Amino acid sequence: MATGLVPSPTPETAPFWEGTKAHELRIQQCNSCGKFYFYPRSHCRYCNSTDVEWKTVSGKGTLASYVINNRPTPPFDKETPIIVALIQLDEGPRMMSNIVGVEAKPENLELDAPVTVDWEDRGDQVIPVFRFAEGA
Element at 16 (helix H, strand E): helix 14-21
Using rule CB under 5 A, residue 32 touches Zn ion: yes
* Residue 48, Cβ density class (10 Å: 0-12 exposed, 13-18 middle, ≥19 buried): exposed
Element at 87 (helix H, strand E): strand 82-89
Nearer to Zn ion, 51 or 110 (CB): 51
Using rule CB under 5 A, residue 47 touches Zn ion: yes
Contact indicator for 86, 111 with CB cutoff of 8 Å: no
Residue 93 CB, shortest distance to Zn ion, in Å, is 13
Which among 7-15, 43-51, 71-79, 94-102 is the span making contact with Zn ion, rule CB under 5 A? 43-51
Using rule CB under 5 A, residue 44 touches Zn ion: yes
Interface with Zn ion (CB under 5 A): 30, 32-33, 44, 46-47, 49
